[in-house]
Structure 1
Amino acid sequence: MKTEQLRHLRRAVLAVAGAATLILGLAAPSQAADPVLRDLATAKGRYIGSAATASELNISSYAALEGTQFNSATPGNEMKWESVEATRGTYNWTGGDNLVSFAQAHSMQVRGHTLVWHSQLPNWLTSGTFTNDALRALLVKHVTDEVTHFKGKINQWDVVNEPLNEDGTYRASLWYNQLGSSYIADALRAARAADPAAKLYINDYNTDGTGSKSDGMYNLAKSLLAQGVPLDGIGFQGHLIVGSVPTTVQTNLQRFADLGLDVAVTELDVRMTLPATTALLTQQKADFKSVVSACLAVSRCVGVTVWGLGDATSWVPSVFPGQGAANIYDENYQPKPAYYGVAEALGWTGTVPVPTASCAVTYGVNQWNTGFTASVTVKNTGTTPVSGWSLTWTYPSGQKVTQAWNATVAQSGTAVTATNVSYNATIAAGGTQAFGFNASWSGSNPAPTDFKLNGTACS
């Protein structure tokens, strides 16, 4: 905290004018009667899966949910080229083997991810100089070796990942630039030869609804099938945005199914601009539910995989600054409304628990003739951390905020909003964050009584 800010806070005399207890509504508590997603999915003839990395499986809460709630697992990184063959011809299967062992111990199937991709390639491959024939041989060898190692243990392979641009044309990559689109057929044929029982997929993002990119994928699939290339399914990643889920997901899945292909939602998450609010979380629940429902409406949609569990380890904030809260569990691995949305889509008819997280606000002023200094402390009295916060209230007597510290404070008429700054965005369970501001007043200076934290009013 800056010296000037400390001086302001020390100068403020905490004459506590009022306190309010607020219901955050950010996460519902885990209940003994919570639905088991894998049981619901099995009853519908589908799987429900989750991605996991080795580090995530070392988190006891993550591993417990992974093994009890889901019947399919996808490795986040452990089967990618740079992970298994960082040195040419030398393989490290430890991460992939451990995930497979975890899945087998919990009666889960495994989606292999991914054999051929433009990203996460080892340096020896990306910096090397190879003839076209040599590069093709390396691709075929790697696919053959990896699929052979995991033969009989993988239900579905994402053989080729993200081969298309947004307009449906082929993505420029190490593979396409030298081999053209034929690398896709080469990889699929090598995978089939190595494990005839595994289902072979092409997987991509932003193909969830109809449009240019999904049209490109559709044309690619038709072309491969016409050539007799072994292709069993298409994976639709499903990295989506709250309130912007395509309305054509079901229609799009169905047209691929009509080609005789299986389809699957392979990496589902639904991100939002932080902080999470009750309204955003409610919409997120509806979005997850709509995607799962679209899959269930297509007979050849074999399952849905969510891309990770808790918000604490989500990839989203590092790639999309200011966005996050994309998963069905919160940062403390407690179920969010989205979890219940998935359950409802799968046929669950139970009652969603009322959120129990709460906080208390202490508001105090040091007042003089026409101005005052206010100090505000927000305490999280709930059991889960708050990530990104916004506190709102009204000043009905004409008070005007002029300067603030430890928060960004904006005022429009009588409405005031205080938002966290970069260094105090998280309020730990049982923890507090404090901020202060100067303001002017005339006539009277009553304390606010309508505090709302992240959009939810006090009870």
Structure 2
Amino acid sequence: MREERRRGRSTGRRPDGRPARFRWWIGAALTAVCTAAGIAIPSPAQADGELRDLADARGFEIGAALGVDHLANDSRFADLAAAEFNAATAENSMKWDAVQPSRGQFDWSGADDFMAFARANDQAVRGHTLVWHSQLPSWVSNGGFGAGELRGVMEDHIDAVAGRYAGQVAYWDVVNEMFNEDGSWRQSVFYDTLGESYVADALRMAAEADPNAELYLNDYNIDGINAKSDAYYDLARSLLNQGVPLDGIGMQAHLINGQIPSDMQRNIQRFADLGLDVAITELDIRIQMPASQSELEQQAQGYRTVMDACMAVDRCIGVTVWGIVDQYSWVPDVFDGYGAPLLFNDSYQPKPAYYAVQEALGGDGDDGGGGDDGDDGPGGPCEVDYSVQNEWNSGFTGQVSFTHNGSSALDGWELQWTFPSGQQVTSGWSGEWSQSGSTVTVSNASWNAAVQSGGSVSVGFNASHNGGNTAPTAFTLNGQSCAVS
């Protein structure tokens, strides 16, 4: 019986209990597909990023969600994706509306391009997602199907998608986001038509289509112990008792800066105690903008807390971040006023969060390297010269110049510092200025966004003060600390 075969089947695990990563060679046909789409496929020899190397050494997976349009159109994004991550999730290209927009009419272009990139770079693939209430084509969500026909529609879709990539996908997020925050079942075309049984049915169908993939349930706000994660715990225990093929729980971890669940490790452990693997599948930590240096440091601590919680539990197999660079994140479009949630900033420079993840994986957490191949100039990645040009009773004119010492040119920059004496910028030039509390942020104007290695930029401002005008002593450029001359 299908229900009975899962517990005893081979899962391809290493002797230490962690799942072995799927490794394969890319075929000529998929290489041609990816080349035709314009996606750069870095050779495996290029995949020597710090995070990836450290994770490989520990038998751990550090992954990223990858958008195929970014892979095709942004070589820096593709290079980071290949170099830093040993696992990959299709951001949107495997969802129902992408692969089957019309009934029986499949568009494999995006999913195939994603798979080609992951294969070329020896990355374990998380398929995302087979059954979800969102990003459904209208022919499914408004189809008016009876139970029998909808079950058939679901089976045909799972069989086609999971079957196409059978043996090539390490994990499938089979059913995504089926509970409300209070632990009640979410209303959806699947639940409303089929009832609770649609989850077990989908897992069985996926096991039939790809017997070798690990099958997961996946949701947000289940990172700590709460009503919603309790509902998943109860459902998982019930499914396992019925012999339904379930291998793991995916905790998305779309988090707010400073609000990391304190019981995250305990929550991971209780699912592991059921005999399930756990993965952090969609990690990002959003900050209310503009992000100050102290908030970026707090975000880094949040990333470290999540990494430590996962790595403390044997059955937590890996952490995937939901994107790579801040500029492509979904967060600003969904959470008004929030942003900067990822490991690399808009200028592709590693943030403090990157070094926190690096350190959690066993690296040195040194923010003087990593972002520019370790060949920064003598002042580190940047040097700043701050001076007061003119001063009067209640104000002054200041000038700040920075030199970019990284080996790669900047295409956009953000300089930040904190005034120690309550000074307030009243006007500025040669950049876009803002101030939050004592933290000043100035970003490039349109005409000075590009800064070559060794190049310098000067900006100026007028500011007020209340009798004290102590100079700031700490500056960051694109999130990296600068030497002060």
TM-score interval (norm. to shorter): 0.7 to 0.9
Change in Cα spacing, 1:226 to 1:401, as seen in structure 2 (3 Å) is closer
Secondary structure at 2:236's aligned position in 1?
Answer: helix
- In structure 1, the partner of 2:27 is none
Distance in 2, Cα, partners of 1:47 & 1:221: 23
User: 5+ unaligned residues in a row in structure 1: which ranges?
Assistant: 1-31
2:99 maps to a residue whose letter is V
Q: Does 1:333 align with 2:348?
A: yes
Change in Cα spacing, 1:425 to 1:60, as seen in structure 2 (3 Å) is closer
- In structure 2, the partner of 1:245 is 260
- In structure 1, the partner of 2:313 is 298
Alpha-carbon contact 1:364-1:375 (below 8 Å) kept: yes
Alpha-carbon contact 1:407-1:436 (below 8 Å) kept: no
Q: How many residues align?
A: 412
Distance in 2, Cα, partners of 1:420 & 1:65: 26
Q: Which has the higher contact order (CA 8 A, sep 6+)?
A: 1
Secondary structure at 1:130's aligned position in 2?
Answer: coil
Q: Match for 1:265 among 265, 272, 280?
A: 280
* CA RMSD across the alignment: 3.5
- In structure 2, the partner of 1:56 is 70
Q: Report Cα offsets for 1:61-120 as digits up to 9, x if no partner.
A: 111121122111100001000000111110011111111111111111111000111111
| TM-score where L is the length of structure 1 | 0.79
Distance in 2, Cα, partners of 1:35 & 1:194: 34
Alpha-carbon contact 1:363-1:447 (below 8 Å) kept: no
Q: Match for 2:50 among 29, 36, 46?
A: 36
The Cα shift of 1:124 comes to 2.1
Q: Match for 1:181 among 179, 189, 196?
A: 196
Change in Cα spacing, 1:57 to 1:409, as seen in structure 2 (3 Å) is closer
Secondary structure at 2:172's aligned position in 1?
Answer: strand
Q: Which of the pair has more CA radius of gyration? A: 1
Q: Does 1:160 align with 2:181?
A: no
Distance in 2, Cα, partners of 1:320 & 1:154: 31
Map 1:56-75 onto structure 2 (within 5 A): 56-58=70-72, 59-75=74-90
2:229 maps to a residue whose letter is S
Alpha-carbon contact 1:427-1:433 (below 8 Å) kept: no
Q: Does 1:190 align with 2:205?
A: yes
The Cα shift of 1:356 comes to 2.5
Change in Cα spacing, 1:177 to 1:365, as seen in structure 2 (3 Å) is farther
Distance in 1, Cα, partners of 2:420 & 2:320: 40
Q: Does 1:314 align with 2:339?
A: no
Secondary structure at 1:270's aligned position in 2?
Answer: strand
- In structure 2, the partner of 1:121 is 136
Q: Does 1:356 align with 2:381?
A: yes
Q: Match for 1:205 among 220, 224, 244?
A: 220
Distance in 2, Cα, partners of 1:181 & 1:144: 20
- In structure 2, the partner of 1:288 is 303
Secondary structure at 2:115's aligned position in 1?
Answer: helix
The Cα shift of 1:432 comes to 7.0
Alpha-carbon contact 2:419-2:440 (below 8 Å) kept: yes
- In structure 1, the partner of 2:115 is 100
User: 5+ unaligned residues in a row in structure 2: which ranges?
Assistant: 1-45, 370-379, 452-456
- In structure 2, the partner of 1:135 is 150
Change in Cα spacing, 1:356 to 1:403, as seen in structure 2 (3 Å) is closer
- In structure 1, the partner of 2:449 is 428
- In structure 2, the partner of 1:27 is none
Secondary structure at 2:260's aligned position in 1?
Answer: coil
